[in-house]
Structure 1
Amino acid sequence: MKAEYRIEFLFVWVIVESSLYRIPSDMQKKDSIMSETDHIGSISGPFRVGILPIAGFPLMSYACTVEPLRAANLLSQRSLYEIVHFGQAPRTSSSGAAMVERSYEVGDTVDLDLLLVLAGGDPFSFDDAHVFTWLNRMARTGVQIGGVSGGPVVLVKAGLMDGHRMTVHWEHAPLLTEHFRDVIVERRLFVIDRDRVTCGGGTAPLDLMHALITSHHGGVFARHVSDWFLHTDIRAETAPQRAAVSDRVGTTSPRVHEAVSLMESHIADPLSLSQVAFVAGVTPRHLNRLFTETMGSPAMTYYRSLRLSVGRRLVHNSSMNMSNIAEATGFSNAGHFSNAYKAEFGVRPQFDRRRAPAHISA
């Protein structure tokens, strides 16, 4: 019997590899959009950007990384940027799309200015000594090394972020800081710290590339590139990755906002009711009353549900064992975590993992 599939929407996306770098012939005679106020700066020749997509990489992060560079070439009618891919093709993204393009192998000696690792899903399970060695070798040759979405986790595992400030997608931040206590993680869109570049993923690479193009060719031209993608609200490096707590919890109480923000920052090392209330500026009894009135449950019940929600993402999207997940979410042991998980979601985490949907990465 043949399987039947029902398709509600069909998008056709045609990618021509050469369009990454080359100007269409029908545009070559038109005036460049790059004005005299823009500049080439200290760059001689194309700025070469290497892309290493790890299997399961987030397609949105990939597009938001490479497309501004393609548009910069298109709008300037110059080869300002060259994109080079690494790894064995095809690689499948988190949405199931396969990338098939001419690429270099990991380990090849290629002249690059910047090398970005794109990863999603479960970057903590990535453990390829060959890739780690190659990344370190590229860093030693003076190549700027970066990661996007879960890519910074790969850089940490490769030992490349020691002493560097960094960011990572908010989904991975609690586990990263729990397992690598010395990393300096900042909750922002992207961080450029000397020869390291890290970005939270999603649409944040649009803002990162705007900053990169600005540093190379001026703000006016970078604005033209961002306008090309209807990206008119350029965000600063320091912008937060997530909406304000006030926009996510559905209450106007500033005390509750303060408490929830504190709880989100202490998933692996949960605070007591007294500690949360002290920071929120109220008594424990008053805080419980505020939470019951606005959130539908006492403060510590809400806090536990928040920690269990993080735990469920790790159950669904990582290969971590239950003991490690329990530790990352502030539970004393796997049994304690499993019992709390079943009480919250109606199923034990081991069984929930088996039926989990495919992970969607940013």
Structure 2
Amino acid sequence: MLSFASAIEPFRIANRMSGKTLYRWRLAGEAGTWASCSNGATVRLDMGLDELGRDEMIVLCGGMDIQAATTKRLVGWLRREARKGLTVAGLCTAAYALARAGLLDGRRATIHWENQDSFAEDFPEIELTKSVFVIDGNRITTAGGTASIDLALTLIAETHGEELANAVADQLIYSAIRTDQDTLRLSIPTRIGVRHPKLSHVIQVMEKNLEDPISPAVLARDVGMSTRQLERLFRRYLNQSPKRYYMELRLVKARNLLMQTDMSVINVALACGFASPSHFSKCYRAHYDTTPYRERGSRSGRVVE
């Protein structure tokens, strides 16, 4: 809902501020009548997956459980309309649907940070970035949430000038317009609430090396510290050991892969740096109080023994 509203409102305001109908839109969906959001709200649709004109643009909005929402019918519609040369945008998780339709092959793209790991595993041929939005030719993707506002303001500025885009931003009480060079997550110091350069560097290295974990000794040496000093640093600021923090990062990635992909539990374990399924299962149960197999089963509403 946030990505959806953030995409439409800047164009509505642009029409109002300019005194002209610069933008028009229609709401489409498979049902052709109503679309339901995960927050319980429903939106009345103007049309089904009908044929579009060559001067139109598709903006697809995705939310939770995008894999199930990406139906064969939707994929077929996207491919058919894309062959006309239309610009196609995917907001938030909708980048998955574009990728499944083959519309992002060989392109740069972004997606909500929670879906980054699974997207990279499913579509290795796509250059995945951490930008808030990406415009690659006639393919556009956003990382979700208010990134739709940044994209809309950029498109308004490109077509009708920065003065109008800034006027729209003022109406939205939006004081800092991000570009495609901005990243989709807060900086590590902001996220962890600690501004310690060495700690931030170690965490950054951990996040980039989840499949092949690096030992605390090597991490400490990389920032000119002893292993004991690194231990004290983590316990002082994060109240846990480097090993525990690293383990939790890997388990979060594992859970995302289990819930968002069809990768086998063994492959998920390997992708998150676990040498054996049994060790992975033991660590997963200790952290989440369930097994990877049960977690995978819960995605489809059934328990897998």
TM superposition shift of 1:330: 3.4
Give, as a single letter, the amino acid of the residue that structure 1 aligns with 2:25: I
CA deviations on 1:196-230 (whole Å, 9 max, x unpaired) are 11111101111110000000100001111111111
Contact 2:133/2:180 (8 A) holds in 1: yes
Q: Give 2:37's match in structure 1, choosing from 70, 89, 93.
A: 93
SS at match of 1:304: helix
* Deviation for aligned residue 1:124: 3.3
Aligned to 1:84: 26
Residue 95 of structure 1 and its aligned partner are, at CA, apart by: 0.8
2:161 maps to amino acid? G
State the match for 1:73 in structure 2. 15
Q: What CA distance in whole angstroms lies between the structure 1 residues aligned with 2:162 and 2:95?
A: 27
Per-residue deviation at 1:173? 0.6
Alpha-carbon separation, structure 1, partners of 2:280 and 2:139:
37
1:94 and 1:256 map into 2 onto residues whose CA distance is 37
SS, match of residue 24 in structure 2 = strand
- Matched position secondary structure for 1:82: coil
**C-alpha distance 263-77 of structure 1, shift in aligned 2 (>3 A):** same
Larger Rg: 1
C-alpha separation in 1, matches of 2:154 and 2:231 = 44
Q: Are 1:174 and 1:268, in contact at CA under 8 Å, matched by a contact in 2? A: no
Structure 1 residues 9-158: aligned runs within 5 Å: 59-87=1-29, 88=31, 89-103=33-47, 105-158=48-101
Q: Which runs of 5+ in 2 are unaligned?
A: 300-305
* Residues 175 and 328, structure 1, Cα contact 8 Å, conserved in 2: no
Letter in 2 for 1:186: T
* Structure 1 portions without partners, runs of 5+: 1-58, 357-362
Contact 1:322 1:334 in 2 (8 A): no
Give me the whole-angstrom Cα distance separating, in 1, the residues matched to 2:137 and 2:143: 18
Q: 2:173 is paired with a residue of what secondary structure?
A: coil
AA in 2 matched with 1:257: S
Cα offset, 1:141, TM superposition: 1.0
Q: Which residue of 2 aligns with 1:300?
A: 243
What is the aligned partner in structure 1 of residue 302 from structure 2?
none
Identify if the C-alpha distance between structure 1 residues 110 and 226 changes in structure 2 by more than 3 Å, giving closer, same or farther: same
Identity %: 31
Q: CA RMSD in A?
A: 2.6
- CA distance in 1 between partners of 2:37 and 2:270 (Å): 30
Task: Tell me the alpha carbon deviations over residues 43-69 of structure 1, each in whole angstroms, 9 at most, x when there is no partner.
Answer: xxxxxxxxxxxxxxxx00000001111
Relative to the length of structure 2, the TM-score reads: 0.86
Q: CA deviation at 1:320?
A: 4.5
Relative to total residues, which structure has the larger helix share, 1 or 2?
2
User: Which position in structure 2 is the counterpart of 1:10?
Assistant: none
The answer to whether the 8 A contact 1:258-1:279 is kept is no
Aligned AA for 1:91?
A: A
State the one-letter code of the partner of 1:96.
G
